[in-house]
């Protein structure tokens, strides 16, 4: 069997995160023309604001991966579904305890380990350094929450 590398930090980089330029609307002031008595609205000059935006279409499961999912063996697909259903919000790590997964998915230990090995080979999962039950998952495949928050964390950690 092929030995898979373990990672201290997630080996996956985020795709589809782009900066967008928005024009913000500041408050308006109501003024009166002293000659005519007409009311006018005066708006302060807008400021441009750059905001990160996640451009990928998702509902926790990113659509561009359907072909890859259709090629998964049944047991690998079940383990992946378990991971998707149990991942905590805003986390890049999923816990796959063999006993829990086997019970939930109705499979034996060897089937579970073969499925995890398959997901590692396909680079959907990566081993987390120092843990036998925690795995990094590719946030471009599935994610529970807004990936912009973790992209900011990655940018900060890369600058340090």
- How does DSSP assign 28-93, residue by residue? EEEEE-TTT--EEEEEPPP-EEEEEEE-S-BSSBBGGGHHHHHTS-HHHHHHHHHHHHHPPTT-SE
Dihedral angle computed from the Cα positions of residues 152, 153, 159 and 160, in that order, rounded to the nearest 10 degrees = 160
Q: CA 138 to CA 64: how far, in whole Å?
A: 13
Of 104, 52, 110, which is closest to residue 81 (Cα–Cα)?
Answer: 104
Q: What is the pLDDT of residues 108-158, one digit of tens each?
A: 999 999 999 999 999 999 999 999 999 999 999 988 888 888 877 766 666
Give the tens place of pLDDT for each residue, 32-55: 777 777 777 776 666 667 777 777
Kindly report the pTM of this predicted structure.
0.68
Residue 59 pLDDT more than 80?
no
């Amino acid at each position: 069997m092929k030995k898979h590398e373990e990672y201290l930090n997630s080996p996956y980089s985020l795709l589809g995160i782009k900066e967008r330029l928005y024009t913000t609307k500041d408050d308006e002031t109501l003024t009166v023309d002293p000659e005519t008595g007409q009311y006018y609205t005066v708006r302060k000059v807008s400021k441009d604001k750059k905001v990160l935006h996640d451009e990928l279409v998702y509902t926790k499961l990113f659509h561009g991966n359907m072909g890859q999912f259709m090629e998964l063996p049944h047991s690998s697909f079940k383990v992946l579904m378990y991971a998707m259903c149990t991942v905590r919000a805003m986390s890049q790590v999923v816990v796959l305890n063999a006993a829990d997964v086997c019970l939930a998915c109705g499979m034996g230990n060897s089937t579970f380990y073969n499925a995890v090995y398959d997901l590692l080979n396909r680079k959907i999962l990566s081993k987390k350094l120092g843990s036998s039950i925690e795995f990094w998952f590719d946030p471009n495949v599935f994610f529970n929450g807004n990936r912009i928050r973790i992209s900011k964390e990655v940018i900060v950690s890369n600058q340090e």
